Amino acid sequence: MIVGDLLDLDDLAIRLAWGTPELLARQVAGISSTDLQDPARYLQPGELVLTGLVWWQPADGSGALRFATALRSAGVAALLAGEGTHGSVPDSLVDACRTHGIPLLAVPAGVSFRAVTDRVYLRLWGDLRAGAQDAAAIPDAVRRELTELMHAGSAPGEVLAHAVGRLGVPDCSLVTAGGRHVATTALPVPPAAGRGDGGLPVGPQDGSPFDGWRLRPHLREASAEPLLQGLAELLAPLAARAHAEAATRRRAGGQLLAALAGDGPADLAEPLAACGLTPGCPPAVPAPRTGAGAGTQGLVAVAARIDHGPAGGVRDDDTPPGWAAHALAEALDQLAAPYTAGTDPAGRAAALVAAPAEAVAERLRKARPALQARLTGRRTLRIGVGPAAPPVAEPLRAALVQARYLLDGSAGPVASAAELDSLAGLLRGIPPEVTAAFHTRLLAPLAAHDRENGVSLLGTLAVFLDHDGSWARTAESLHIHVNTVHYRIRRIEELTGRNLARLQDRLDLRTALLCTPAR
């Protein structure tokens, strides 16, 4: 596909605002939408860029030039400017595109960006399939009908139902790698069709075990295999469209997470708007009336990571960082809520979800087994769910920090901030090297004593603290005289320099016991 092909789509009525024949012959690699003033780092070479011109202000004489400069640095193929916000394409933007040699096309106010994106990806996928024989088994009439349905923006379920009915193949389901059902032609779905493994690949597959669609027939019939193979290839535009929408959400999420990653105050207005959220106003959700009216729910922070090996360490050489983002995006997609996801150099993915925190944690626990099944070897998917926070910079930063803390220190594969309600839970997020050093610093004298004597002062200390400092109950539990307990406690105080009559010293020694290194 080339840029000039957009002008031939009569139903979209896209017009040329500026461009030369040579520039209109540029090859198109994809499409992205943005309303950031400087979107360069979120764009890929050869992409079409859709903008609603929300960033443009008539009083800002250099705004259009800065925007065009960013597009040129990213190497985009062309700019498509929507006329819905300002009524027409500003002359300053035309001049800026002319200066930087960027083809500029005008999208009429009545044309949705979704329609433009769909047509572009349908055309791109059609180009990839040109000359291919994978769908040769599909009759021409059925192929045309399905193509028309997809061009009309029909839902995957409608397209799949029409295909199964016209081709006479067994009932089928479209499922994601994580087992989420995109569409099915019959309920109940057989258990085998509910898993993301197996099936025929549909649409783009990027190599991650958590990405891509599959066509799963509910019954396998050898006679239907050629038709099913052709159908999987023919349905690829549906997956490509979903893939593009997910990429747009992740790009918007990356902008928001990048804004939160800065050290100083962050202006979240643009990145929140790109995610479809309003700054300073948490999304409202239904809540039981308790006399105070309906409640509100903010954004829930989530973090994910792929661990490798018996020690649970991250191995970037074995596990591409993008895998964590794909796994998290697939799991969050099952919430049917807007999400943002991105990766960091440590191979972790972070996200913000507009849903109640309890619902997020519960759904992630249900989704994780299917995702874990996609991992080979000793890799393990871990997820941390932070608390809800209003869409304001500092609370969101704090929520992300908590999600990553839970990710690093959780005892189970999915940990929620609601579970962070004990000292033991708090300590799990501290690096083991630090907790081991704290344990040694406070309790090494007791450990040395126990190695040389037949009496366990460490055991006595643990039982004494477990019984809230009760001499009698400690003696009863250890089956010794209470005077012996008094003697041992005095010895513990001498060796540690702590006074067990003081609450602070008890807390320090209790913490040191909880920091006992795992063997």
Question: 312: pLDDT confidence band, cut at 50, 70 and 90?
Answer: very low
Question: 294: pLDDT confidence band, cut at 50, 70 and 90?
Answer: very low
Mean pLDDT of 378-392: 88
Cβ pair 334, 369 in contact under 8 A:
no
For 334-376, the three-class secondary structure string (H helix, E strand, C coil) is CCCCCEEEEECCCCEEEEEECCCHHHHHHHHHHHHHHHHCCCC
Give the range with max mean pLDDT: 4-8, 313-317, 348-352, 376-380: 4-8
What pLDDT, on the 0 to 100 scale, is given for residue 198? 65
Measured between alpha carbons, how far is 80 from 83 in angstroms, rounded to an integer?
A: 10
Mean pLDDT of 510-515: 91
Edge-first strand listing for the sheet containing 78-82:
15-18, 104-107, 78-82, 47-51, 30-33
Which residues is 385 bridged to in the sheet? 302, 416
Digit-coded pLDDT (tens) for 433-447: 888 899 999 999 999
What pLDDT, on the 0 to 100 scale, is given for residue 94? 95
Measured between alpha carbons, how far is 172 from 193 in angstroms, rounded to an integer?
A: 8
Cβ pair 351, 328 in contact under 8 A:
yes
Residues with Cβ within 8 Å of residue 22, at least 6 apart in sequence: none
Mean pLDDT of 103-117: 90
Concatenating the DSSP letter of every residue in 240-287 gives HHHHHHHHHHHHHHHHHHHHHHSSS----HHHHHHTT--TT-PPB---
Domain 432-514 has CATH 1.10.10.2840: yes
Mean pLDDT of 358-367: 88
Mean pLDDT over each residue of the chain, to the nearest integer: 83
Please tell me the class of the 3-121 domain.
Answer: alpha beta
Residues with Cβ within 8 Å of residue 326, at least 6 apart in sequence: 177, 206, 208, 209, 210, 211
Mean pLDDT of 44-72: 90
Q: How many CB atoms lie within 10 A of CB 392?
A: 17
Residues of the chain above pLDDT 70, percent: 85
Measured between alpha carbons, how far is 363 from 367 in angstroms, rounded to an integer?
A: 6
Q: Quick one: tokens of 226?
A: 């050629």
Fold of 299-308+317-427: Alpha-Beta Plaits (3.30.70)
What pLDDT, on the 0 to 100 scale, is given for residue 248? 76
Would the pTM of this model clear 0.75, i.e. be above it?
no
Q: Read off φ and ψ for residue 196, nearest 5 degrees.
A: -80, -10
Q: What is the CA radius of gyration of the chain?
A: 30
Question: 293: pLDDT confidence band, cut at 50, 70 and 90?
Answer: very low
Any idea where the domains of the chain sit in the sequence? 3-121, 145-240, 299-308+317-427, 432-514
Mean pLDDT of 404-423: 80
Helix H or strand E encompassing 427: helix 423-427
Which of 11-15, 306-310, 395-399, 475-479 has the weakest average pLDDT?
A: 306-310
Would you say residue 186 has pLDDT above 80?
yes
What pLDDT, on the 0 to 100 scale, is given for residue 129? 53
Cβ pair 484, 471 in contact under 8 A:
no
Mean pLDDT of 70-77: 94
Would you say residue 240 has pLDDT above 70?
yes
Would you say residue 420 has pLDDT above 80?
no
Would you say residue 354 has pLDDT above 90?
no
Q: How far is CA 438 from CA 433, 443, 510, 511, 515, in A?
A: 9, 8, 11, 9, 7
Mean pLDDT of 61-72: 92
What pLDDT, on the 0 to 100 scale, is given for residue 51? 93
Digit-coded pLDDT (tens) for 119-173: 887 777 665 554 444 455 789 899 989 988 988 888 999 999 999 999 999 999 9
Would you say residue 310 has pLDDT above 80?
no
Query: Higher confidence at residue 131 or residue 248?
Result: 248
Torsion sign (Cα): 158, 159, 160, 164 = positive
What pLDDT, on the 0 to 100 scale, is given for residue 269? 78
Residues with Cβ within 8 Å of residue 11, at least 6 apart in sequence: none
Cβ pair 360, 381 in contact under 8 A:
no
Torsion sign (Cα): 182, 186, 192, 198 = negative
Question: 491: pLDDT confidence band, cut at 50, 70 and 90?
Answer: very high
Question: 374: pLDDT confidence band, cut at 50, 70 and 90?
Answer: confident
Whether 299-308+317-427 and 3-121 are alike in CATH topology: the answer is no
